[in-house]
Structure 1
Amino acid sequence: MDNRRAFLKKAGALVSAFSAHSLFQELHAATWSELEERYRHLEPLEMAQNEDYWAVIQQGYSASASPVIILNNGGVSPSPIVVQQAVERFNTMANQGPSYYMWKILDQGRENLRAALAQLGGCDPEEVAINRNSTEALVTIIYGLDLQKGDEVIGSTQDYPNMMQAWKQRAMREGIVYKQLTFDFPIENDDIIVEAYRKAITSKTKLIHLTHVVNWNGQIMPVRKICDMAHAQGIEVIIDGAHSYGLLDFKIPDLGGDYFGTSLHKYLSAPIGSGMLWIKKEKIGKVWPLVCAGDPKSGDIRKFENLGTRSFPIEQGIGEALNFHNAIGTKRKEERVRYLKDYWAQKAKEIPGVHIHTSLKPEFSCALAGVSVEGLTPGELERELMLKYKIHTSPISVENIHLVRVSPHVYTKLSDLDRLVEALKKIASQV
């Protein structure tokens, strides 16, 4: 009986990633505290090139020792070791008796997690729902808003496919009008983008669906300017933040949108299959939940978490990812990842036959950049990089975007990017 009580006490402590008992505290706190003290005088731009500091961060990821160089972090990022261990611990705990440990122990950690996600996003916890990915978050909004036949929604052909398909399904079933713009990226003038959305607006336009960071080539869109323009005409804005939350230094309300969805398993490095939905508080009540709820018109954000049985270990593992992220700092992470992108792209663009398809100005891109080699399709270049050089990237052929997407992360080493540049040189010279 004493052993059982001790176990339950320890189990309760483990649920909170935000206590002195967190795995991050056990594994990293002391070392990282010393590291922070040593470098606190350096600004994020200076820290971006401090290889001694980032070598310590790299050791926190098992992926840093992978035999394959992972440069598709824009798809799914690996979790730090501490996050992996947290999920394993929670999974072991849950399997001692799932119906008890999941609902009575692990589920009790959600409110602290909600508050921590909201703090990083600079918003009210009562505006944040925890879910499984950007698709779930954004489709909740897309299917949850009341629209009538003939109402118009403006998006882009370069938005994420699941979002486009969701809008097309509403158009097929209900007769809404889904209009899509196409951009010739990269664009280094916000006014061109804002004006394109402005021209597409008619008296029937109700919504603009906007991607914060275009996942195909890394273009950062002028979301605040578009939101301000739209709101001046009584139009709401949905923001796809899959590639921005946990990477770019911003507060969600400052973007100016009404709805926001993101995946946490990208640059936040949370467990795979974790996401977040944000809805401006006064708009929660009018959005129907994707999965049934007792009171679908409730103003309680928790109605969007009514998923039934799900992975509580994954959900609670998010907390350790937040600990890891916050110990680095969002601005420091943003500048480091941008530095890594610039490091390889600046060199690659000087190689004959190699082209970069992403702006290298800091206000227009951060992590993602597209590259192509004359004479090769994106698929052919991606296969060459993988088969001959063990470099994993993502081939993209969408509308007028044809490139290989390269997306490093904080665990990426400069030597890995040097290998990428050398591989591009050899490949380009042999075409």
Structure 2
Amino acid sequence: MTRELEMDDLQYRTPAFEQALVSLPTPSANASGDDAYWERVRALYHVSDRLVNLENGYWGAMPEPVKSMYAWWTERINHENSLWVRERWARAVEALRAEVAAALGCEADEIVLTRGATEAMLALIGGYRRLRPGDTVLYSDLDYPAMRHAMAWLHERRGVEPVCFSIPEPATRENVLAAYEEQLRRHPRTRLLLLTHLSHSTGLMMPVREIAEMARAAGAETIVDAAHSWGQVDFRPQDLGVSFVGFNLHKWVAAPLGCGCLYIKRGEVGAIDRYFGDRDHAEDDIRSRIHTGSPNFAAWLTLPAALELHRRISAAAKGARLRHLRSLWVEPARRLPGLAVLTPDDPTMVAGITAFRLDGKTSAADNDAIVATLRDRHGVFTVRRDGPAAGDVVRVTPALYTRAADVMQLVRGLEALGAGHG
């Protein structure tokens, strides 16, 4: 006989996880510069010290307590195999959905779990059905490559005209809003707008609500890529003022790789096609808008642990700490000749990710060479990112385990670059 699914199954805690919750204090209101507190957080991680890793935007390393839960679920799923999954997965995944929705601050029937933000975003973009031949779809150079490609592909799928434009450099709230206003004026048949909440390339955080309101007034709906924002920025989907959002859980919430979700505001699911004609769920059920097949069960079952530790530290404290670490290197970097920091200091326009460019160094080869110099001569790991129309950049992304001394090591490397002797 099938056993009832008990929440204790999902909330099972290893000794390492229990100890972490007991030993980690709640951060204070001004914890951003409290290095003693962040040393306690750092102690939760087991990461390589071969280099100072300032490339933490790819995905987030799991803290050891979360990793212990992932190992526990991996063992259990492999031990029981289909005995557990066939009997219990259908109810387990609904409990997981409810956990993620509660963390997001929305209803469970407004989200569905995915294997990442890219999967969620491609389902939203490719499935958006309120387009007619000759309509315009609008996106920018700072959007993620896979999403830009999908927007361009809508020409083949829907017969629309894709338009890509460049975000101004240096960016400010005023000139970003003006750029979107101008593009909507120039393209009055725009019916779909892609917005990236926090750019993967430069770290620029868009004023999504204002732009979405502008687009709505012009007759366009907005799909938001929140792959990099949720977890290092404290917000709910409703705060963005849009109906369609793709999220990652394996970046700043530090769940295992392969965890994301798709959000569709209640009442708006009809705007998105069923996923390849899915018939497993009803026409008005968001679960028919994605079909992942067999996910990494253990990864998804680790979500309650990742979310609980995320709540203990809090998105507000994470965001404040990451901005603090950013400021430690950005303030001296702005004084270096020939170096441009590509995000403003306006706290509404930036979080922890920021990129820089050296004068005249715009190619992939130029920026790969800068990354190599910082790595090989100064012991700091960064990454080149393409996308911005003005040229490639070097992206700097601290993590919660990053120390102030780590970002100062980057500053010394930048000073050496500026002095011309790398």
TM-score under structure 1 length normalisation: 0.89
CA contact (8 A) 1:69 1:391 kept: yes
Helix, strand or coil for the counterpart of 1:281?
coil
**What's 1:408 paired with?**
398
User: Structure 1: which amino acid aligns with 2:118?
Assistant: T
Residue from 93, 114, 119 that aligns with 1:110: 93
CA contact (8 A) 1:71 1:392 kept: yes
CA contact (8 A) 2:170 2:343 kept: yes
User: Structure 2: which amino acid aligns with 1:254?
Assistant: D
CA contact (8 A) 1:245 1:267 kept: yes
Name the stretch that deviates more: 52-61 or 301-310.
Answer: 301-310
What does the per-residue CA deviation read over 1:350-394, in whole Å, with 9 as the maximum and x for residues that have no partner?
334433222122121111111234575211110112223332211
**What's 2:119 paired with?**
136
What does the per-residue CA deviation read over 1:107-137, in whole Å, with 9 as the maximum and x for residues that have no partner?
5332232222222222111101110111110
CA contact (8 A) 1:285 1:300 kept: no
CA contact (8 A) 2:17 2:66 kept: no
Q: In 2, distance between residues paired with 1:368 and 1:29?
A: 28
**What's 1:71 paired with?**
54
Aligned-residue sequence identity (percent) comes to 27
**CA drift at 1:292:** 4.4
CA contact (8 A) 1:74 1:407 kept: yes
Q: In 2, distance between residues paired with 1:287 and 1:23?
A: 44
Helix, strand or coil for the counterpart of 1:404?
strand
Structure 1 residues 52-131: aligned runs within 5 Å = 52-63=36-47, 65-105=48-88, 108-131=91-114
CA contact (8 A) 2:17 2:65 kept: no
**What's 2:370 paired with?**
381
Structure 1: gaps (5+ residues) = none
CA contact (8 A) 2:275 2:288 kept: no
Name the stretch that deviates more: 366-375 or 170-179.
Answer: 366-375
CA contact (8 A) 1:15 1:105 kept: no
Q: In 2, distance between residues paired with 1:354 and 1:145?
A: 41
**What's 2:22 paired with?**
30
Residue from 234, 237, 243 that aligns with 1:252: 237
**What's 1:397 paired with?**
386
**What's 2:352 paired with?**
367
Helix, strand or coil for the counterpart of 1:62?
coil
Q: 1:164 and 2:148 equivalent? A: yes
Helix, strand or coil for the counterpart of 1:282?
coil
CA contact (8 A) 1:24 1:82 kept: yes
Q: In 2, distance between residues paired with 1:162 and 1:81?
A: 31
**CA drift at 1:55:** 0.6
Q: In 2, distance between residues paired with 1:372 and 1:235?
A: 34
Pair 1:103–1:397, CA change in 2 (3 A): same
Q: In 2, distance between residues paired with 1:123 and 1:387?
A: 46
Q: In 1, distance between residues paired with 2:217 and 2:335?
A: 44
Structure 1 residues 321-336: aligned runs within 5 Å = 321-336=306-321
CA contact (8 A) 1:288 1:296 kept: no
**What's 1:273 paired with?**
258
**What's 2:199 paired with?**
214
Structure 1 residues 304-315: aligned runs within 5 Å = 304-315=289-300
CA contact (8 A) 1:12 1:105 kept: no
**CA drift at 1:308:** 2.0
CA contact (8 A) 1:185 1:219 kept: no
Q: In 2, distance between residues paired with 1:90 and 1:402?
A: 41
CA contact (8 A) 2:97 2:111 kept: yes
Q: In 2, distance between residues paired with 1:401 and 1:317?
A: 39
**CA drift at 1:66:** 3.1
Pair 1:122–1:185, CA change in 2 (3 A): farther
Pair 1:351–1:193, CA change in 2 (3 A): closer
User: Structure 2: which amino acid aligns with 1:72?
Assistant: E
Helix, strand or coil for the counterpart of 1:112?
helix
CA contact (8 A) 1:131 1:275 kept: yes
CA contact (8 A) 2:61 2:254 kept: yes
Residue from 208, 217, 238 that aligns with 1:223: 208
Q: In 2, distance between residues paired with 1:194 and 1:373?
A: 26
Q: In 2, distance between residues paired with 1:88 and 1:129?
A: 24
User: Structure 1: which amino acid aligns with 2:374?
Assistant: L
Name the stretch that deviates more: 240-249 or 68-77.
Answer: 68-77
TM-score under structure 2 length normalisation: 0.90
Q: In 2, distance between residues paired with 1:23 and 1:326?
A: 19
**What's 2:10 paired with?**
16
Pair 1:195–1:355, CA change in 2 (3 A): closer
**What's 2:417 paired with?**
427
CA contact (8 A) 2:191 2:221 kept: yes
**CA drift at 1:279:** 0.4
User: Structure 2: which amino acid aligns with 1:150?
Assistant: G
CA contact (8 A) 1:368 1:407 kept: yes
Q: 1:237 and 2:211 equivalent? A: no
Helix, strand or coil for the counterpart of 2:416?
helix
CA contact (8 A) 1:291 1:307 kept: no
**What's 1:346 paired with?**
331
**What's 2:133 paired with?**
149
Q: In 1, distance between residues paired with 2:67 and 2:163?
A: 42
Q: 1:194 and 2:183 equivalent? A: no
